[in-house]
Structure 1
């Protein structure tokens, strides 16, 4: 008997000797590979930060050995999630200012500012996240109360979409803004009569730059802290790649240095802000590609936002006659930049909300990309589109959309657009049918960071209270498979990264996420409550 046990030990030891040593083995899982066949499997092996093998638990266990073995106990695993449009650096900076998101009245906004200043006194008060559409009185606020509360301290409060400021008189004086000041591509809101005679303190789109010029810039230490805070939040939500939609050279270089030093793990697809000098610098330098950073695109603002009535429409706003919104970047400049980028390796990613802005961007793309295949230029948001203009997406133009915009805007979008025009808005399935893919993101911190809210909004088209009962414009709902692809392989493709991430396949980066619930199977109403239990980048839990 002892001899038999000894021989069995020798046989087992010999089997282990013939197995390949790897860094990590994951077994007994429900693995959504998001490969070409959208296949599901059980296990995989990781070595040197990449997927070495994918298959059944028996296959992996019989071929490989590792010091670290994770038994997933049937839990769902997907490729690491990609947010195709967000403001990663902005999210971090927002952790350092007054949080106004979710305030149900202007009085609550004011109280949050008062409380913040009492606990963290600032010589220049900044806040972000107010939305008049969430208030009982759905009108822009005015500076009257801020002037009374903070007569000697400048206050700048950004709207939720980042396309409007509310500022007090002190900030206006510092910026040299008075009732005669004019800036094209936006509005300095004025009213006559009542408490305010002249400037209300609300600035929409381009006039905001006058305020930006007088705000103290963050220190290097504050910028580093912001990036690390943003990373922590994103990793906790299962994100392994973020597309930062518009950052400057200094921030891009800081991200690169932190990644190279091992102080920042998350992968960043950085869109260069449309500053002429910086655009020229990056075009001359060419695309920058490391394992963690990809710089090969330029972010352009076509128009403003629908909530602040800055989106450029072909016909007037239904709730504001004779008002069409505005182009933030003149059409001639969009064309000139497109021609320049078409001769480079850089991608053009243009914010377009209104149907007029989308028409401009789509026609410019169509004209300059003739005989230039596989450029993968994106329309960021692609929110309101005149029906004939959908056909432009058949030319290889990629719609990069944010499903939670639909469920955030659905309460008032018809007021802005009218019942007929709103049916060609938030049309994700229509865009998918035309373009063949949709890249999905959140636009955080405009919306919440959670990719599970993105997934839920795409497949249920309801808010988290289950409204509306039948879903919002369900002709444009996405399937669960389409939504997951939009957050993984399609988002990777939109970044020219489909060969290195976006699916769990041999040779790709071992970026993956383990969940407490299976988003592909749980009832719809449970999707928003899903949590990322572990997030892996390069096969290492982060």
Structure 2
């Protein structure tokens, strides 16, 4: 014993006895013997973590966590990989849910197959007031031109038909639907196209023209909408998604989502972008942003142009395969400038769909005029598919976030060069180039345009290949992301793009305990095996929402 300081020696011995016998702190859940990709600032890979009251308590080694904490449930993952809950930075949850009641036309190899699926559905549901479907893509057919409605008119003369193209920017409708909407060859529309051949309507409606007919479709009743929301949620949890950005919602839908979340029925976290409708602007301009642990409303989704596949994307120069067309803006330039000024003054985030290089240039310039320089407004360009090289630096100059969808590149690669030609395709879908502007890039899927599975987007981002692992070597591989960049794009960076980096997107103390357990490690497994990865379990708020505890 220290003779000079006997009390100090006694204190040290007592403290050692006290700490050695200290009881472990209580936790709701402990995960250990795992490979935990935290997605924190240092890209830490840990072994274990503890969860309490829906948040991460601490992250560290297995021995440390199990000594310091005692969990009501403790899971030995035997080396399985764990990641933060995946976030889809651009999707359409409401649209996907609605589509669960429609005819699935994804993957049809001909218009004949489209018709067959519609006939089968109609036989099963003969009393529905409208025949609705989504997912056809004429680029996948032998004849790559838009279809006409002659067959629809013959087979379905008494029921209105509205079938939407895969990208949501074009639809084919029958004569019954056109008559109900009082659309004639003399009808005009701004920011859209009505198909007319030899003086008669073909049934094709592009971009704003769709609204002439779609507004006549009766909405789902609340009870039915609740059912499809919950069904959609289950599908998303099954692929590891715990948060989604819903790009373009109206106030009544947002309020229904909020009520279901507060009732603990809907557990999917949603970052809601508002449609810039008069109702939404009137209400949210007055009341401001809205934020709960499950719902965040602080942005407006704006459409600058249409889609490349339906030639509605606004290009600086004509389409390579349609020399007389350049696409079009969906509103006039004054509209975008005025709205940008309003949103900036009121503190809302502006997120603009821009596909073509002309649309991207316009919106980047308008953003620059309003933002003026470096800022933390986090305004976004959604898709940013075709950006002229001279405009790319504007993303960094004004801190504009490019929000991209990697599977768009691998879906479009079969025909995008036909639309753009060899010069423009060289700087399209340039995700690595865009990432360099601000040092991060959020990733989404745009489902139901693409599949809901975020691991497909991960694979497309790093391999630049589709489900067939085509093409060999990857499409424009120079713009591939690294695996860690892709992981951050669907976790940490996606959260940052939503102003949510302090609450989710990484496995760190005091953040929401959203995480996913996979059957193989997407950071190390061979590229051809990535899409075969399965979700073993998905947790939201520390609660198992998909899979099994074992």
TMscore range, shorter length = over 0.9
Shift of 1:278: 1.0
Specify the alignment match of 1:359 in structure 2: 361
Please list the CA deviations of residues 19-69 of structure 1 after superposition, one character each: whole Å capped at 9, or x if unmatched. 001100000000000000101010000011100010000000111101201
Shift of 1:277: 2.8
Unaligned residue ranges in structure 1 (runs of 5+): 1-13
Shift of 1:464: 1.6
CA–CA distance in structure 2, aligned partners of residues 329 and 507 of structure 1: 44
Tell me, yes or no, if the aligned pair for 1:268 and 1:292 is still in contact at 8 Å. Answer: yes
With normalisation by structure 1, the TM-score equals 0.96
Shift of 1:371: 6.0
Shift of 1:483: 0.2
Which one of 78, 81, 84 corresponds to residue 86 of structure 2? 81
CA RMSD of aligned residues (A): 1.1
Shift of 1:435: 2.3
Specify the alignment match of 1:54 in structure 2: 59
CA–CA distance in structure 1, aligned partners of residues 257 and 81 of structure 2: 31
Mean alpha-carbon deviation: is it higher for 279-288 or for 473-482?
A: 279-288
Tell me, yes or no, if the aligned pair for 2:244 and 2:271 is still in contact at 8 Å. Answer: yes
Does the alignment pair 1:191 with 2:197?
yes
Report matched runs for 1:158-169 at 5 Å. 158-169=164-175
SS in 1 for 2:89: strand
Specify the alignment match of 2:437 in structure 1: 434
Unaligned residue ranges in structure 2 (runs of 5+): 1-18, 546-550
Shift of 1:271: 0.3
Tell me, yes or no, if the aligned pair for 1:301 and 1:351 is still in contact at 8 Å. Answer: yes
Shift of 1:471: 0.7
SS in 2 for 1:166: strand
CA–CA distance in structure 1, aligned partners of residues 139 and 333 of structure 2: 30
Tell me, yes or no, if the aligned pair for 1:399 and 1:435 is still in contact at 8 Å. Answer: no
Shift of 1:280: 2.8
SS in 1 for 2:135: strand
Does the alignment pair 1:128 with 2:130?
no
CA–CA distance in structure 2, aligned partners of residues 180 and 452 of structure 1: 47
Please list the CA deviations of residues 329-363 of structure 1 after superposition, one character each: whole Å capped at 9, or x if unmatched. 22111111000000012100000000000011111
SS in 2 for 1:140: coil
Specify the alignment match of 1:149 in structure 2: 155
Tell me, yes or no, if the aligned pair for 2:374 and 2:399 is still in contact at 8 Å. Answer: no
Report matched runs for 1:502-541 at 5 Å. 502-541=505-544
Specify the alignment match of 1:443 in structure 2: 446
Specify the alignment match of 1:107 in structure 2: 112
CA–CA distance in structure 2, aligned partners of residues 110 and 539 of structure 1: 46
Tell me, yes or no, if the aligned pair for 2:503 and 2:511 is still in contact at 8 Å. Answer: yes
Tell me, yes or no, if the aligned pair for 1:16 and 1:65 is still in contact at 8 Å. Answer: no
Report matched runs for 1:31-430 at 5 Å. 31-121=36-126, 122-192=128-198, 198-370=200-372, 373-394=375-396, 395-430=398-433
CA–CA distance in structure 2, aligned partners of residues 364 and 371 of structure 1: 12
Tell me, yes or no, if the aligned pair for 1:191 and 1:200 is still in contact at 8 Å. Answer: yes
Shift of 1:536: 0.5
Specify the alignment match of 2:482 in structure 1: 479
Mean alpha-carbon deviation: is it higher for 17-26 or for 411-420?
A: 17-26
With normalisation by structure 2, the TM-score equals 0.94
Tell me, yes or no, if the aligned pair for 2:311 and 2:327 is still in contact at 8 Å. Answer: yes
CA–CA distance in structure 2, aligned partners of residues 334 and 119 of structure 1: 45
CA–CA distance in structure 2, aligned partners of residues 328 and 74 of structure 1: 51
Shift of 1:142: 0.5
Specify the alignment match of 2:3 in structure 1: none
SS in 2 for 1:90: helix
CA–CA distance in structure 2, aligned partners of residues 379 and 459 of structure 1: 21
Tell me, yes or no, if the aligned pair for 1:279 and 1:298 is still in contact at 8 Å. Answer: no
Please list the CA deviations of residues 343-402 of structure 1 after superposition, one character each: whole Å capped at 9, or x if unmatched. 012100000000000011111111111267200000000000011000111021001000
SS in 1 for 2:422: coil
Shift of 1:439: 0.6
Specify the alignment match of 1:463 in structure 2: 466
Tell me, yes or no, if the aligned pair for 2:251 and 2:279 is still in contact at 8 Å. Answer: no
